[in-house]
Amino acid sequence: MRQSKLFTKTRKEAPADETAKNAELLIRGGFIHKEMAGVYSYLPLGLNVLKKIENIIRKEMDAIGGIEMRTSVFQSKEVWEKTNRWDDAVVDNWFKTQLKNGGEVGLSFTNEEAYSNILKQYVSSYKDLPLYPYDFKNIFRNETRSKSGILRGREFYWKALYSFSKDEIEHNEFYEKSKVAYKNIFEKVGIGHLTYMTFASGGTFSKFSHEFQTLTGAGEDTIYVDENKGIAVNKEVYTDEIIESLGLKKDDLVEKRAIEVGNIFSLGTKFSAPFDLKYKNEKGEEKLVIMGCYGIGLGRLMGTVVETLSDDKGIIWPESIAPFTVHLLLLGDDAKVQEEANKVYENLVNAGVDVLFDDRADVSAGEKFSDADLIGIPYRAVVSARSLKENGIELKKRTEEKGQIITENELLKLLTK
């Protein structure tokens, strides 16, 4: 992409009402646009990041047997009345609306009922199980107060997988696989070193659920971390009895602030029973399906990366989810420099490299460097009169202070490895 054709512009200041680092940097860098409190549009740079996060998650879900589909945002009143979760006294953050021809619908705030209702139509025998459908979709929650940028919003984009198993043994086998898949996801997006599997309340379904909590001062949760074992305990279950049952020692646990970037939990038969979601086993006996839920908010994950991987100059994207691999800067108005920079750009594109080309005229070198730091693409390649004099291109990583002159062939080899 040529930056001169990119309609978004960087900003020196974020809106005065934005105090979260993730929102400030993403708005200033031209990744997101604030529509209203808790609602953001993803601009081209932000959408590139979101798509890369989505692809990482998709590969991990597919690897453990997930089957992708897409459930409707509109939800039927009759379906949700089966679990009593249509009632505003039970769920107080529905967005609901009236249909012109009569009737009321809601916008998805979660997906348990939707999947149970669909699977009821397709599951009847033990041969139909297990099943692991999932989807990516927009979720809507009428929060009283929305804060923390894209870490908590009224509209957000998530992945939710639901497991449908014959029994607890089959459920637990998949549950353990999902733990590994989630760890892989957070490693691949660049925050694995800051993210802990955290024991939390299992509610009425099981002794524990498992959250994945990333350490950051912007977090809303308090967790207690055993850094040697790589696990943590949420404050909500932080009791002597729980600590002992997990084989942990209180003296080894360090209190930290963190943001929940994913969760997995057992549902038992809570959502299969209301829909009479049963199967017949080998003996012809009817049994209720055992369910589990596995969620990740993609926007929240993106915001967490920004909160944890940034400096006073801007964002530092990991290569795996950066909007582009390299930021190519053209400095100066010399015809030979412009010709060389355009040639390098075309060669990078033809080699399949994701490149943002800052070909903007009438923008100073200082502004281009400042924008490159703010946007945070992993590599910065500069074509200038000085670099050509030294027979090459100046390449610098976002995390490095100084660059080095390399040849175009060396650049191509590095970026296509």
* 301 plus 385 within the same structural domain: no
Last residue of a domain, one of 311, 343, 376: 311
Q: What is the reported pLDDT for 19?
A: 87
Last residue of a domain, one of 311, 341, 370: 311
Lookup: tokens for 315: 């964002």
What is the rounded average pLDDT of the residues 17-34? 94
* 391 plus 293 within the same structural domain: no
Q: Which residues, including other chains, have CB under 8 Å from residue 127's CB and lie 6 or more apart?
A: none
> In whole numbers, what is the pLDDT of the chain averaged over residues?
95
Q: What is the reported pLDDT for 343?
A: 97
Q: Which domain holds residue 106?
A: 13-311
What is the rounded average pLDDT of the residues 244-255? 95
Q: What is the reported pLDDT for 143?
A: 86
pLDDT bin (cut points 50, 70, 90) of residue 417 is confident
pTM tops 0.85, yes or no: yes
Which whole-number Å values give the CA distances from 271 to 92, 288, 292, in the listed order? Answer: 19, 10, 10
* 48 plus 96 within the same structural domain: yes
Instruction: Give a yes or no: residue 7 inside a domain.
Output: no
Query: Has residue 46 got a pLDDT over 80?
Result: yes
Which residue in the block uniquely carries the two structure tokens 């200038």?
384
CB 208 within 8 A of CB 243: no
Query: Has residue 148 got a pLDDT over 90?
Result: no
Last residue of a domain, one of 311, 346, 372: 311
Which whole-number Å values give the CA distances from 223 to 138, 238, 307, 309, in the listed order? Answer: 28, 8, 18, 20
DSSP conformation letters of 189-205: TT-GGGEEEEEEE-TTT
The Cβ of residue 170 has, within 10 Å, a number of other Cβ atoms equal to: 15
Instruction: Give a yes or no: residue 363 inside a domain.
Output: yes
Nearest to 298 by CA among 119, 111, 153: 153
Query: Has residue 32 got a pLDDT over 90?
Result: yes
* 247 plus 389 within the same structural domain: no
Instruction: Give a yes or no: residue 205 inside a domain.
Output: yes
Express each pLDDT in 117-147 by its tens digit. Answer: 999 999 999 999 999 999 999 999 998 877 7
Which whole-number Å values give the CA distances from 316 to 89, 323, 329, 379, in the listed order? Answer: 44, 11, 18, 10
* 212 plus 177 within the same structural domain: yes
Instruction: Give a yes or no: residue 49 inside a domain.
Output: yes
Q: What is the reported pLDDT for 236?
A: 94
* 332 plus 252 within the same structural domain: no
Q: What is the reported pLDDT for 412?
A: 96
340 membership: H or E segment, kind and range: helix 335-350
* 373 plus 299 within the same structural domain: no
Lookup: tokens for 406: 């390399």
Express each pLDDT in 205-225 by its tens digit. Answer: 678 999 999 999 889 999 999
CB 39 within 8 A of CB 77: no
Instruction: Give a yes or no: residue 317 inside a domain.
Output: no
The Cβ of residue 44 has, within 10 Å, a number of other Cβ atoms equal to: 14
Query: Has residue 13 got a pLDDT over 90?
Result: no
- CATH code of residue 60: 3.30.930.10
The Cβ of residue 201 has, within 10 Å, a number of other Cβ atoms equal to: 16
What is the rounded average pLDDT of the residues 251-274? 96
Q: What is the reported pLDDT for 15?
A: 81
* 118 plus 147 within the same structural domain: yes
* 336 plus 228 within the same structural domain: no
The pairing of beta strand 195-201 with beta strand 95-98: unpaired
- CATH code of residue 351: 3.40.50.800
Express each pLDDT in 302-359 by its tens digit. Answer: 999 999 999 999 999 999 999 999 999 999 999 999 999 999 999 999 999 999 999 9
pLDDT bin (cut points 50, 70, 90) of residue 16 is confident
For the chain, the domain total comes to 2
